[in-house]
């Protein structure tokens, strides 16, 4: 019997060892498996894909620009909206997933489905994460949204199906990549590409271009030139794909997202060392002034050596063509000699333009514009080949001449007509198009030249070899015109993204096998642009209307109209605190929160429309925060008064657990911290009992908090984590500074005689090694504080007692700057004490400045002169001015309303919100 137990025990132990060994081997193989480059997830039939460093950052920048209006109003909008919703849900509901999407690079690709319509695929580089762990977190999030995740056997990795009432999506995790798509076939192609190292590893052009991407950009756009043209136009006939065309491969363009455009720069390459532009170097000038006003598409070839380009299409120096005998009025055979009939007058550029976006019939709808050095020379040289037809245009008898001289890029349908202008020779199959252009040119003679394409400074290089220009919304309109109900037009889906774009301008520079590309894609403006600002009336009527302030050089932008809107029915109220910008119910939505003298919170949308109000208990502190109170991904507003904390949902309704009574009553501003981003919030404030309180959102005091005694706090408590240690900082109205740990125990002993400015925050020092923190002293000097409490100073000028101070990279050069405001002066200094911007306000008493960084990278500082209520505005680009036409009763704020709308300066006057677009 004893032997049997020994045998059984041995078997069990052996089985356990085998199981453990298999588990260890499996884990070893998992760790040993290499993480694939994210480009490997791109399916082989991908047309276009975008790569960026973080989904969360990319989505935030997209929502802050006009790009969001395009993505949310297209035929493929469901893909973007679903992605946007997924990112928001993951970030709110699961910290593990939030870190994945916030800290890892991602890629979105578009490929045609079986019908030719675009289908998107999302890939995230998640690294060494077991599929079971990932499924656990995704399942928890899916269940809260009513979705179910099931696994499907597949090789070399399992597929997972996410199904719900609104449809289904698929994902897999393989070799460190998480890949998601609504199309199973596309997902399987992606897995095969990862497994077989395709397409990036197999396409030399793409592989080389992936190494050219910029580092400090919002994303990188990759696309196959031939496939993109084919899917956008619905035509396989691409005029750019001639022999040795530089556009026979991939393009990679760095993306910089701006309010009104996408700034583009990068390279295109066909995979060969030679192309039709090999002997050319960038030439100039870049000029659109000769284009017809009706031009909607086209391109220009700028040549440093026109003869070298032409020799690729013609052998020798002559062509045998048809001419015209004007004496006998008959066609005759003529010899077209390049030196005599072309080089004697031609300039360095030739353009193809079209007044219709129909790229499938460009030969008959286009015009070729040849730059001319001398009108008389062109008349003499071309006369043997022209037949007068009456009017300013003549018939060109030399059939196919543009094709023979410059190749398929400039092929036009015969017969051709010719107009010889002062600085251009124009050819077109459409005589009507040519006559209209001739009348335009004659009307503009000696006047101002106008172009249908408007360029902003620094959009294009001064010199280039190829210019590409397009009115994308017109192309989308022509492709998307109603067709037969039984016909599917996939091109309409591809061009739907372009329907919100007004202008695409690109230039390409030769000189190497990789063509450098630069340009921009402008978002279409639907709203009329007028020089107006809006006031939102606080009274029940709507009599305030629109006011036109005097024009200044301050940078105030009077372009985008914001309509005047009545706030609500009722008497006007007094706003007692600066407006605060908070998030709304919808992703990316911004709201304006304002407190009134009657202790009420009023909420407005980004256009100034009144939404709701909430009556608080007790005197308000002016503090409003946002927190995931119930830890379910749904954020709430926290509003603090002297005695209570109110918790409201996004619609302004108070939840059941609210209000929470504050112990000791708040005698200072309230601070809210989530130290480890685990939604374990702490509320810290100075009480009337001269103790600093630290409580949870339920109002419960922390048992290990030491309740340090410090009377009359000024401003909010501040939290820092640096060098592996945590710090809490408190400042009194007299300037005393207390720095503790998270339990309220003194961490840095500050000299008793040191006085800090009560209007200056504390900052982690990123300039030098003089101390771990820096701030401003009571007398306005820059102050360094070491970990041992040693104080040192540096003077930047006289800013009076208790000046406002801030520490940030204001001019965007990568180094932190010092900003002082006080004694009627605002000054911004570099780390080397060089003045970046300064403005003196005579007899001024400055309020609390507001700093804002625009999507373009420009920084703004807005501050109120309390004596005159005038607003002072400083820009990182050098402008600084007190605005005579704009005043406010509260300190100003600036925010981005999202989409195409300009950044807005929010001020108040007589119970009114004033929204002023700025640039």
The reported pLDDT for the residue numbered 445 is 66
Which range has the worst mean pLDDT, 84-93, 216-225, 369-378, 843-852? 84-93
Do 454 and 503 touch, CB atoms closer than 8 A? Answer: yes
- At 566, the pLDDT band (50, 70, 90 cuts) reads very low
- At 625, the pLDDT band (50, 70, 90 cuts) reads very high
Please give the Cα distance from 23 to 145 (Å, whole number): 34
- At 29, the pLDDT band (50, 70, 90 cuts) reads very low
Please give the Cα distance from 621 to 640 (Å, whole number): 6
Please give the Cα distance from 489 to 486 (Å, whole number): 10
Which range has the worst mean pLDDT, 205-214, 250-259, 602-611, 841-850? 205-214
Q: Among the ranges 352-361, 458-467, 615-624, which has the highest mean pLDDT value?
A: 615-624
Q: Among the ranges 193-197, 294-298, 370-374, which has the highest mean pLDDT value?
A: 370-374
**SS3 per-residue string spanning 463-492:** CECEEEEECHHHHHHHHCCCCCCCCCCHHH
Which range has the worst mean pLDDT, 135-149, 611-625, 672-686? 135-149
Q: Hey, which residues does 178 pair with through a beta bridge?
A: 124, 173
Average pLDDT over residues 881-904: 84
The reported pLDDT for the residue numbered 61 is 83
The reported pLDDT for the residue numbered 487 is 55
The reported pLDDT for the residue numbered 570 is 52
Do 148 and 163 touch, CB atoms closer than 8 A? Answer: yes
Asked if residue 366 has pLDDT above 90, the reply is no
Give the residue with greater pLDDT, 569 vs 472.
472
> Distances in Å between the alpha carbon of 634 and those of 243, 592, 604, 655?
58, 19, 20, 12
The reported pLDDT for the residue numbered 315 is 86
Asked if residue 472 has pLDDT above 60, the reply is yes
How do residues 444-454 score in pLDDT, each as one tens digit? 765 555 666 66
Which residue from 801, 723, 724 is spatially nearest to 759, judged by alpha carbons? Answer: 801
What percentage of the chain carries pLDDT values higher than 70? 83
Do 141 and 90 touch, CB atoms closer than 8 A? Answer: yes
The reported pLDDT for the residue numbered 18 is 58
Asked if residue 481 has pLDDT above 60, the reply is no
Please give the Cα distance from 225 to 240 (Å, whole number): 9
Which range has the worst mean pLDDT, 197-211, 565-579, 590-604? 565-579
Asked if residue 200 has pLDDT above 70, the reply is no
Give the residue with greater pLDDT, 535 vs 603.
603
The reported pLDDT for the residue numbered 536 is 30
Q: What's the pTM?
A: 0.77
789, burial (CB in 10 Å: exposed 0-12, middle 13-18, buried 19+): middle
Give the residue with greater pLDDT, 881 vs 645.
645
Average pLDDT over residues 545-558: 33
Average pLDDT over residues 156-185: 85
The reported pLDDT for the residue numbered 375 is 92
Contacts 24+ apart (CB under 8 A), 681-685: 681/627, 683/645, 684/717, 684/728, 685/640, 685/713, 685/717
Give the residue with greater pLDDT, 422 vs 457.
422
Asked if residue 14 has pLDDT above 70, the reply is no
The reported pLDDT for the residue numbered 382 is 94
Do 85 and 259 touch, CB atoms closer than 8 A? Answer: no
- At 216, the pLDDT band (50, 70, 90 cuts) reads confident
The reported pLDDT for the residue numbered 113 is 84
Asked if residue 274 has pLDDT above 80, the reply is no
How do residues 377-395 score in pLDDT, each as one tens digit? 999 999 999 999 888 899 9
Average pLDDT over residues 274-301: 82
The reported pLDDT for the residue numbered 545 is 28
Average pLDDT over residues 170-185: 88
Which residues lie below 8 Å from residue 306, measured CB to CB, with a gap of 6+?
A: 343, 346, 348
The reported pLDDT for the residue numbered 213 is 73
The reported pLDDT for the residue numbered 44 is 83
- At 483, the pLDDT band (50, 70, 90 cuts) reads very low
Which residues lie below 8 Å from residue 804, measured CB to CB, with a gap of 6+?
A: 757, 759, 760, 820, 821, 822, 846, 848, 849
Average pLDDT over residues 867-882: 82
The reported pLDDT for the residue numbered 372 is 93
Which range has the worst mean pLDDT, 416-420, 450-454, 571-575? 450-454
The reported pLDDT for the residue numbered 562 is 40
Give the residue with greater pLDDT, 714 vs 32.
714
Asked if residue 304 has pLDDT above 60, the reply is yes
| Size (the chain), residues | 919
The reported pLDDT for the residue numbered 358 is 60
Asked if residue 74 has pLDDT above 80, the reply is no
Average pLDDT over residues 740-745: 92
Here the tokens at position 398 are 């030399």
The reported pLDDT for the residue numbered 237 is 66
Q: Between the CA atoms of 317, 320, 326 and 331, what dihedral angle is there, to the nearest 10 degrees?
A: -170
The reported pLDDT for the residue numbered 845 is 83
Which range has the worst mean pLDDT, 158-172, 480-494, 725-739? 480-494
The reported pLDDT for the residue numbered 346 is 94
Asked if residue 762 has pLDDT above 90, the reply is yes
Here the tokens at position 308 are 């070298």
Here the tokens at position 37 are 């480059």
Give the residue with greater pLDDT, 779 vs 202.
779
How do residues 83-125 score in pLDDT, each as one tens digit? 666 677 766 777 777 777 778 888 888 888 888 888 888 898 8
Asked if residue 226 has pLDDT above 90, the reply is no
- At 720, the pLDDT band (50, 70, 90 cuts) reads very high
The reported pLDDT for the residue numbered 893 is 92
How do residues 631-641 score in pLDDT, each as one tens digit? 877 889 999 99
Asked if residue 886 has pLDDT above 60, the reply is yes
Please give the Cα distance from 670 to 621 (Å, whole number): 8
Look over the chain and give the mean of its residue pLDDT values, rounded to a whole number: 81
Here the tokens at position 694 are 């630290």
Do 825 and 794 touch, CB atoms closer than 8 A? Answer: no
């Amino acid at each position: 019997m004893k032997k049997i137990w020994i045998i059984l025990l041995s078997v069990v132990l052996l089985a356990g060892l085998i199981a453990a060994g298999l588990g260890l081997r499996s884990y070893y193989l998992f760790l040993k498996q290499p993480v694939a480059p994210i480009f490997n997830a791109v399916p082989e039939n991908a047309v276009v894909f975008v790569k960026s460093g973080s989904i969360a950052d990319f989505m935030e920048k997209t929502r802050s620009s006009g790009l969001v209006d395009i993505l949310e109003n297209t035929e493929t909008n469901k893909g973007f909206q679903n992605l946007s919703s997924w990112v928001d849900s993951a970030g709110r509901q699961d910290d593990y997933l939030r870190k994945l999407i916030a800290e890892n690079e991602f890629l979105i690709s578009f490929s045609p489905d079986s019908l030719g319509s675009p289908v998107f695929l999302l890939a995230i580089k998640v690294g060494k994460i077991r599929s079971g762990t990932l499924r656990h977190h995704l399942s928890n999030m899916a269940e809260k949204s009513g979705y179910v995740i099931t696994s499907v056997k597949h090789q070399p990795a399992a597929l997972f199906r996410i199904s719900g009432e609104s449809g289904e999506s698929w994902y897999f995790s393989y070799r460190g990549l998480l890949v998601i798509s609504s199309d199973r076939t596309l997902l399987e192609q992606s897995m095969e590409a990862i497994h077989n190292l395709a397409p990036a590893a197999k396409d030399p052009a793409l592989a080389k271009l992936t190494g050219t991407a910029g580092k400090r950009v919002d994303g990188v756009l990759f696309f196959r030139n031939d496939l993109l043209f084919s899917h956008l136009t619905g035509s396989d006939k691409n005029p750019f794909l001639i022999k040795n065309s530089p556009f026979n491969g991939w393009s990679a363009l760095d993306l910089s997202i701006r309010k009104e455009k996408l700034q583009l720069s990068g390279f295109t390459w066909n995979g060969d060392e030679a192309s039709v532009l090999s002997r050319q170097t960038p030439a100039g000038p870049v000029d659109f002034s000769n284009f017809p006003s009706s031009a909607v598409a086209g391109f220009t070839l700028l040549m440093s050596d026109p003869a070298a380009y032409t020799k690729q299409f013609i052998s020798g120096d002559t062509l045998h063509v048809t001419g015209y005998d004007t004496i006998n009025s008959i066609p005759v055979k003529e010899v077209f000699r390049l030196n005599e009939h072309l080089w004697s007058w031609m300039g360095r550029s030739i353009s193809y333009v079209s007044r219709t976006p129909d790229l499938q019939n460009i030969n008959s709808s286009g015009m070729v514009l040849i730059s001319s050095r001398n009108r008389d020379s062109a008349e003499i040289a071309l006369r043997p080949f022209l037949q007068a037809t009456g009017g300013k245009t003549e018939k060109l008898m030399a059939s196919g001449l543009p094709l023979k001289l410059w190749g398929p890029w400039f092929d036009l349908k015969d017969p051709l007509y010719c107009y010889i202008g002062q600085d251009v020779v124009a050819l077109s199959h459409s005589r009507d198009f040519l006559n209209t252009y001739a009348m335009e040119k004659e009307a503009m003679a000696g006047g101002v030249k106008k172009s249908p394409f408007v360029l902003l400074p620094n959009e294009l290089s001064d010199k280039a070899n190829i210019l590409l220009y397009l009115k994308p919304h017109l192309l989308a309109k022509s492709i998307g015109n109603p067709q037969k109900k039984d016909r599917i037009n996939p091109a309409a889906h591809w061009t739907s993204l372009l329907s919100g774009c007004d202008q695409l301008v690109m230039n390409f520079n030769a000189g190497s096998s990789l063509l450098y590309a630069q340009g921009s894609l402008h978002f279409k403006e639907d709203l009329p642009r007028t020089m107006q600002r809006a006031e939102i009336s606080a009274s029940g009527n709507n009599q305030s209307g629109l006011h036109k302030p005097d024009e200044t050089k301050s940078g105030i932008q009077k372009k985008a109209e914001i309509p005047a809107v009545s706030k609500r029915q009722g008497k006007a109220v007094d706003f007692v605190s600066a407006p605060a910008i908070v998030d709304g119910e919808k992703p990316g939505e911004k709201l304006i929160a304002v407190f009134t003298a009657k202790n009420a919170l009023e909420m407005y949308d980004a256009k100034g429309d009144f939404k709701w109000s909430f009556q608080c208990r007790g005197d308000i502190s002016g503090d409003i925060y946002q927190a995931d109170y119930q830890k379910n991904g749904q954020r709430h507003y926290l509003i603090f008064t002297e005695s209570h904390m109110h918790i409201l949902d996004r619609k302004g309704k108070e939840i059941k657990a609210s209000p929470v009574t504050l112990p000791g009553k708040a005698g200072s501003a309230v601070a809210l911290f989530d130290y480890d981003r685990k939604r374990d919030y702490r509320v810290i404030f100075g009480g009337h009992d001269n103790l600093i309180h630290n409580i949870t959102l339920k109002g419960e005091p922390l048992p290990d908090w030491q309740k340090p005694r410090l009377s009359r706090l000024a401003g909010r408590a501040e939290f820092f984590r640096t060098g592996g240690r945590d710090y809490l900082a408190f400042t009194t109205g007299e300037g005393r500074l207390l720095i503790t740990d998270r339990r309220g125990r003194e961490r840095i002993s500050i000299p008793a005689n040191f006085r800090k400015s009560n209007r200056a925050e504390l900052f982690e020092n990123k300039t030098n090694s003089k101390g771990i923190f820096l701030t401003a002293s009571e007398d306005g000097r820059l102050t360094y504080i070491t970990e041992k409490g040693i104080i040192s100073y540096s003077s930047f000028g006289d800013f009076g007692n208790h000046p406002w101070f801030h520490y940030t990279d204001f001019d965007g050069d990568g180094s932190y700057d010092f900003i002082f405001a006080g004694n009627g002066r605002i000054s911004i200094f570099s780390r080397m004490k060089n003045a970046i911007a300064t403005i003196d306000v005579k007899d001024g008493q400055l309020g609390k400045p507001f700093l804002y960084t625009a999507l373009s990278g420009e920084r703004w500082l807005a501050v109120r002169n309390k004596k005159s209520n005038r607003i002072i505005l400083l820009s990182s680009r050098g402008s600084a001015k007190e605005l005579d036409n704009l005043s406010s009763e509260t300190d100003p704020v600036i925010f981005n309303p999202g989409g195409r709308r300009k950044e807005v300066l929010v001020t108040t006057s007589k119970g009114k919100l004033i929204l002023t677009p700025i640039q």
